[in-house]
Chains A and B, each alone.
Chain A
Amino acid sequence: MISLILKSFRHRWVTSMVCLLSIALSTGLFLGIQQIRNSARESFTDAVSKADLLVGARGGSLPLLLYSIFHLGQPINNISYSTFEDIEKHPAISWAIPYSLGDSYHGHRVVGTSNALFEHYHFRGDNKISLKAGNYFSRPDEVVIGSVVAKKQKLKVGDPIILTHGVSSEGIFQHDQTPFKISGILNSTATPLDKALFITLQGMELLHEGWESGVPPEEQTQLSEEEMNRLRPNQITSFLIGLKSRMMVLRFKGMIDQYKNEPLTATIPALGLQELWNTVGYVESALSLISLCVLAVGLMGIFIALYSSLQERRREMALFRAVGAGTFHIFLMLIGEAFFLVFMGLIFGLALNYLALYLINTWFIDEFSLFLSLKAPGTSEFIFIGSTLISGVLAGTIPAIKAYRQSLQDGLTVQL
């Protein structure tokens, strides 16, 4: 009887395909949204771990988090380096990573930082930064680059590069008077680190040597290594700290918020990420709603397709009955067809979902620093698949009942 259903499906393939495709589309959309949401959440929350506080100039904690960790948007205010030095000395602090932002290389952010980044930055639980080639920077004119940067710009250790002033990819001023040399390339971390370049804080000063007026100096300034090492950073953008004891976090946060010398903001990264997540949540609900509407259209399509085919099927039903089919067989055949449509729709939808995720993966990394992980469907996906199957069978029930009654009434003699 299954082969009979398949052949009947092939016969009515235009309407069947429309139903099947709308089920597939909604399934793909719904599951895709779920997966993007989950991956995005993970990607967000995994970008930094084991850090207790993120400190920057007074302002919203969300922008602070976005530009420091995700390299999105631009910092408005900097903080003085002396503040960093002062807080770093506090006995409760285990480590501190400074961030100095504002320059770029072909759209990739340049991060001025210290060796503390390589030593203490954690992501996705226990993972730490590691080198794929070369060494970490040891001179102010050396740069360490993320794996995506290396791959996209086809860079290797030892290559000289010219950084750009400002963060847009078409920056006006090039730092062409101070070329940098690549000292190392990082292993892929599947975090925004992959898309960034790292130089020392001195290197950041070196870049802007003679830029006091805000424009490049007219004369080339060649500094000796000795002069370079004497450079002292004035300002940084923010810094990440790890405390010796987790118990201290709230007290320390309070201390920083009330820091006397300069207005500061401290945020707990995990909480900030949660806050960030809540704002994105609306878009996700809207998209889920849309995909459910598409699903409803698909299910209604199945209902209409089956229902409107009943009249033309009356003679078929009489034929089936003549060769020994019972009214229950007739009922089952229609339910079976609805089930088959939804089932195939789900299969196609799943395929569509994974294909689309696979295709947009790189785009997502570039555009949003989100790393989509292709995962097998989880509980919520199975609930969706299960309830869609059930609704499909329910959509087939009314036409099936009608067909059952019709064949009961017609018997072998169809009066049209």
Chain B
Amino acid sequence: MGDDWRKRKRSKMSAIQLNHLKFHYTQGPLVLDIPELKIEQSEKVFIHGPSGTGKSTFLNLVSGILSPSQGDLLVLNQNLANLSAGARDQFRGKNIGYIFQSFNLIPYLTIKDNILLGQHFRKSDFNIEHRADQLAKDLNISAHYNKKATQLSLGQQQRVACARALIQKPQLVIADEPTSSLDDKNTIEFMNLLIKEWEELKFTLVFVSHDLTLARYFDRTIALEEINKVVSI
């Protein structure tokens, strides 16, 4: 009986859950209409879609920058529509790690300060510096720890971005085409490190890319143009 309850509860605990989600900008046309999408906790999901399929909007919604116009959006079992803008910002800072395609680092800060950038906006954590050291070691960037961001190669910069996204041990990591500016060698290195970190922390990974050859690293592939009804019409 207890086991059964736990199982049910667990199956309900999804990382991202969309129900009849619709979004349009103020007085603009509908950009997103997703009847259903469910991403389980610790799942690695590969999302692809040509430009104009609502990718930016989707990512801004999931990370709590935007709020749905209609329908439900649950991230880590939290209905973001119920939270104020400020609370969504805090929620993002605490639970979501975000990796950009490029310009992941503040150029005038050191690597260490970049990894710890989020500390300026959230409650301080005594162990965070130690963890930053550890992550820098794991991601082969500790040699550059006190250098300025601009002194690093693109491959190194993306690894710093990865460290910054993972510093809070987030439950959800969103990577928005993180490898599109890297060459093959750096792409493979980045993917291997990311997957290695996933194996350790088991966060939910939402990875957006045009490069379909990367899909092999993931549990599931989602084509955004197939689930967004605005595009398919």
B106 at the interface (CB under 8 A from A): yes
Contact B59 A413 (CB under 8 A): yes
Contact B106 A316 (CB under 8 A): yes
Contact B56 A413 (CB under 8 A): yes
Partner of B60, one of A8, A11, A320, A411: A411
Contact B92 A319 (CB under 8 A): no
Contact B65 A321 (CB under 8 A): yes
Partner of A324, one of B59, B90, B176: B90
Contact B60 A413 (CB under 8 A): yes
- CA of A216 to CA of B103, assembled, Å: 89
Interface string of B89-109 (1 = CB under 8 A from A): 110111000101001111111
Residues of B within 8 A of A319 (CB): 100, 103-106, 117
B residues 58-76 near A (Cβ < 8 Å) are 59-60, 63, 65-66
Contact A412 B121 (CB under 8 A): no
Contact A11 B107 (CB under 8 A): yes
Residues of B within 8 A of A320 (CB): 117, 120-121
A10 at the interface (CB under 8 A from B): yes
A327 at the interface (CB under 8 A from B): yes
Partner of A322, one of B56, B63, B85, B109: B63
Q: Which residue of B lies closest to A9 (CB)?
A: B108
User: Which of A1, A320, A324, A327 has most chain B Cβ within 10 Å?
Assistant: A324
Partner of A323, one of B56, B103, B164: B164
User: Which of A4, A8, A319 has most chain B Cβ within 10 Å?
Assistant: A319
Contact A11 B108 (CB under 8 A): yes
B86 at the interface (CB under 8 A from A): yes
B residues 34-70 near A (Cβ < 8 Å) are 56, 59-60, 63, 65-66
Residues of A within 8 A of B93 (CB): 323-325
Residues of B within 8 A of A324 (CB): 89-90, 92-94, 118, 121-122
Smallest beta-carbon distance A315→chain B, Å? 4
Residues of A within 8 A of B113 (CB): 7
Contact A318 B85 (CB under 8 A): no
Interface string of A1-20 (1 = CB under 8 A from B): 10110011011000000000
A415 at the interface (CB under 8 A from B): yes
Residues of B within 8 A of A325 (CB): 89, 93, 120-121
Known: A319-B104, A322-B98, A323-B121. A411 touches B65 (CB 8 A): yes
A358 at the interface (CB under 8 A from B): no
A326 at the interface (CB under 8 A from B): yes
Contact B109 A7 (CB under 8 A): yes
Q: Which residue of A lies closest to B105 (CB)?
A: A319
Partner of B89, one of A1, A8, A326: A326
- CA of A324 to CA of B103, assembled, Å: 17
Partner of B103, one of A1, A7, A315, A328: A315
Interface string of B147-185 (1 = CB under 8 A from A): 000000000000000001000000000001000000000
A253 at the interface (CB under 8 A from B): no
Residues of A within 8 A of B117 (CB): 319-320, 323
Contact B121 A415 (CB under 8 A): no
Known: A324-B92, A326-B85, A327-B85. A1 touches B66 (CB 8 A): no
- CA of A326 to CA of B118, assembled, Å: 12
- CA of A322 to CA of B161, assembled, Å: 11
What is the number of residues of chain B that contact chain A, defined by CB distance less than 8 Å? 30
Contact B59 A412 (CB under 8 A): yes
Contact B60 A412 (CB under 8 A): yes
Smallest beta-carbon distance B173→chain A, Å? 11
Residues of B within 8 A of A3 (CB): 120
A residues 166-201 near B (Cβ < 8 Å) are none
Residues of A within 8 A of B63 (CB): 322, 411-412
Residues of B within 8 A of A326 (CB): 85-86, 89-90, 121
Residues of A within 8 A of B118 (CB): 323-324
Residues of B within 8 A of A10 (CB): 108
A139 at the interface (CB under 8 A from B): no
A58 at the interface (CB under 8 A from B): no
- CA of A325 to CA of B85, assembled, Å: 11
Q: Which residue of B lies closest to A322 (CB)?
A: B98
A329 at the interface (CB under 8 A from B): yes
Partner of A412, one of B86, B90, B98, B105: B98
Residues of B within 8 A of A8 (CB): 108
A residues 1-57 near B (Cβ < 8 Å) are 1, 3-4, 7-8, 10-11
Contact A318 B108 (CB under 8 A): no
Residues of B within 8 A of A328 (CB): 86
Smallest beta-carbon distance B181→chain A, Å? 13
Interface string of A342-370 (1 = CB under 8 A from B): 00000000000000000000000000000
Smallest beta-carbon distance A117→chain B, Å? 68
User: Which of A11, A326, A327 has most chain B Cβ within 10 Å?
Assistant: A326
- By a beta-carbon cutoff of 8 Å, the part of chain A in contact with chain B is 1, 3-4, 7-8, 10-11, 315-316, 318-329, 411-413, 415
Q: Which 10 pairs across A and B sit closest by C-beta, in order of nearness? A: A324-B93, A323-B118, A11-B108, A411-B65, A326-B89, A413-B56, A322-B98, A411-B60, A324-B121, A315-B103
Instruction: List 12 A-B pairs, Cβ < 8 Å.
Output: A3-B120, A11-B107, A316-B106, A322-B63, A323-B93, A323-B98, A324-B90, A324-B93, A324-B121, A325-B120, A412-B63, A412-B98
Other A-B pairs beyond A7-B109, A319-B105, 14, CB < 8 Å? A7-B108, A10-B108, A315-B100, A315-B103, A316-B106, A323-B98, A324-B94, A324-B121, A325-B89, A326-B86, A326-B90, A326-B121, A328-B86, A413-B60
